[in-house]
Amino acid sequence: MKAGLAQKEPAILARWAKIGLYDKLRTQRAGRTRFILHDGPPYANGDIHIGHAVNKILKDIIVKSRNMAGYDAHYVPGWDCHGMPIEIQIEKQFGKGSVMRMGDRVVEPVEAIPTGSLMLDIALGIGGLPKGRVVEIYGPESSGKTTLTLQAIAECQKMGGTAAFIDAEHALDPIYAAKLGVNVDDLLLSQPDTGEQALEIADMLVRSGSVDILVIDSVAALTPKAEIEGEMGDQLPGLQARLMSQALRKLTGNIKRSNTLVVFINQLRMKIGVMMPGQSPETTTGGNALKFYASVRLDIRRIGAIKKGDEIIGNQTKIKVVKNKLAPPFKQVITEILYGEGISREGELIDMGVDAKLVEKAGAWYSYGEERIGQGKDNARGYLRDNPTVAAKLEAELREKFQPTEATREEGDDEGDDE
């Protein structure tokens, strides 16, 4: 008769799982000296004889008796040609943990570092930028890319984390960073000479496991050594793309193992000859590798000015989640970035409060509960800034209303609609 043991194995294990006493013993024995008993396969032609049936009963008795004796005893049916479970073979050759069943460990939610924007944290679905992943933030000049990353660094430092900033553009302003809440004294800063040096430093920081967030500003400024040593006007096609591709192949595994958030800031360039309707002429620098390796991609753009009288005091900014491997993508938010202050948290609370009908707007007046908080948005923003307890209460209500308790983990498309 035909064996069909491999097909019957799930049903056998399911019956075992229903035995409460055995489950209790297995839980108690976890972590103790292991005793693994594995089955040999049936004959190569699939035939079995009565000995196999007796063998199953005997092995069942042996495994349970070993558990009773205090061992962490596993029953592992084996269907490979050597009679040893394939998991055990791989562990013997490559080390423990090189392969595992997903059910053998608890899947923990991805940790996140807040961005400093409540709207964006909610749009990202997990409360911020994911640790252990690569994130790309791109957009036109003066759109708020560096501001967003500096605010994420400030939030990380508030949580007791360590931050590093690789300034390939040699343009970081420590005074501005301090205004955004960054503790510049504790910030690790590198201003490398070449792209290779920058990425090697990034790899060392990640592998150290001592950094929680690492920002690289920017991909466009990661100049290959060959280009620096060459003459002006030398044609060196594909150098930067190859450099980024190689670096990301090395970095990604280390980033996951060290649970470090790595943020690449990128710039936009125009494609030549793109005239078809519906196609964007914009593209990011550094080739296509970063688009694939990034778990989150954010497109940030200035869409208007914020005025106080005739004076422009900030930018109205749109941020679109172009790619998200941890929650549904393509969500977008419109927020305010005030000069010298960064993302206006109070402005976001007012806008979200009006949308949620927690803040009432009547003409130019804003009211929260029974209290009027200001005439005009600028005054209402000032009221919340001067009354942090009121702002905290409003924020708590908004988080309860808008933030999902558990992110829906649906992988976003690798190609955003902007490419």
Q: Alpha carbon of 283 to those of 149, 279, 299: distances in Å?
A: 21, 11, 11
Do 264 and 354 lie in one domain? The reply is: no
Per-residue model confidence as pLDDT tens digits over 320-337: 999 999 999 999 999 999
Residue 419 CA to residue 406 CA, distance in Å, equals: 30
| Sheet of 134-138, strands arranged across | 188-190, 163-167, 213-217, 261-266, 134-138, 296-308, 311-324, 332-338, 342-343
Do 302 and 352 lie in one domain? The reply is: no
Residue 381 CA to residue 373 CA, distance in Å, equals: 8
Do 317 and 380 lie in one domain? The reply is: no
- Residue that the structure tokens 């103790």 belong to: 32
> Which of the listed residues 70, 98, 126 is the one where a domain comes to its end?
98
| DSSP, res 282 | E
CATH number assigned to the domain comprising residue 203? 3.40.50.300
Which of 189, 192, 195 has its CA nearest to residue 224? 195
Count: domains in the chain: 3
DSSP for 58-98, written as a single string: HHHHHHHHHHHTT-EEEEE---STTSS-HHHHHHHHH-TTS
Residue 276 lies in a domain: no
Residue 8 lies in a domain: no
- Residue that the structure tokens 């205090």 belong to: 70
Q: What is the pLDDT averaged over residues 379-395?
A: 92
> Which of the listed residues 98, 124, 156 is the one where a domain comes to its end?
98
Do 252 and 119 lie in one domain? The reply is: yes
Cβ atoms 166, 149 nearer than 8 A: no
Do 192 and 68 lie in one domain? The reply is: no
Residue 224 CA to residue 6 CA, distance in Å, equals: 54
pLDDT reported for residue 78: 46
Can you read off the two tokens belonging to residue 101? 């069943």
Do 93 and 159 lie in one domain? The reply is: no
Assign 3-state DSSP to the chain and report helix, strand, coil percentages, each to 5.
40, 25, 40
Residue 4 lies in a domain: no
Per-residue model confidence as pLDDT tens digits over 245-256: 999 999 999 999
Which is more confident, 280 or 53?
Answer: 280
Which of 160, 161, 151 has its CA nearest to residue 128? 151
64 CB-contact burial (10 Å; exposed 0-12 / middle 13-18 / buried 19+): middle
Residue 277 lies in a domain: no
Cβ atoms 265, 219 nearer than 8 A: yes
DSSP for 338-386, written as a single string: ETTTEE-HHHHHHHHHHHTTSEEEETTEEEETTEEEEESHHHHHHHHHH
pLDDT reported for residue 318: 97
Residue 232 lies in a domain: no
Per-residue model confidence as pLDDT tens digits over 206-230: 999 999 999 999 999 999 999 988 8
pLDDT reported for residue 402: 85
Report the Cα 326 to chain-centroid distance in Å.
7
Do 194 and 314 lie in one domain? The reply is: yes
**What percentage of the chain exceeds 90 in pLDDT?**
59
Which is more confident, 73 or 366?
Answer: 366
Do 40 and 163 lie in one domain? The reply is: no
362-392 in b/e form (b: 16+ CB < 10 A) is eeeebebeeeebbeebbebbebbeebeebbe
Q: What is the pLDDT averaged over residues 25-30?
A: 69
Residue 137 CA to residue 217 CA, distance in Å, equals: 10
Beta-bridged to residue 136, according to DSSP, are 264, 297
Do 296 and 159 lie in one domain? The reply is: yes
Which is more confident, 312 or 279?
Answer: 312
pLDDT reported for residue 44: 43
Residue 417 CA to residue 318 CA, distance in Å, equals: 16
Which range of 80-84, 122-126, 399-403 scores highest in mean pLDDT? It is 122-126
Cβ atoms 293, 139 nearer than 8 A: no
Q: Is the pLDDT of residue 381 over 70?
A: yes
DSSP strand pairing (213-217 vs 72-76): unpaired
Do 74 and 123 lie in one domain? The reply is: no
Average pLDDT, rounded, for the chain: 84
Residue 103 lies in a domain: no
Can you read off the two tokens belonging to residue 376? 């005009």
Which is more confident, 294 or 404?
Answer: 294
Can you read off the two tokens belonging to residue 140? 């036109």
> Which of the listed residues 343, 378, 393 is the one where a domain comes to its end?
343
Residue 255 lies in a domain: yes
Q: Alpha carbon of 311 to those of 12, 22, 339, 350: distances in Å?
A: 75, 74, 11, 22
Do 119 and 89 lie in one domain? The reply is: no
Do 217 and 294 lie in one domain? The reply is: yes
Residue 231 lies in a domain: no
Domain boundaries, position 57 = 25-98
CATH number assigned to the domain comprising residue 378? 3.30.250.10
Give 105-110's long-range contacts (Cβ < 8 A, gap of 24+): 109/406, 109/407, 110/326, 110/407
- Residue that the structure tokens 């690569």 belong to: 134
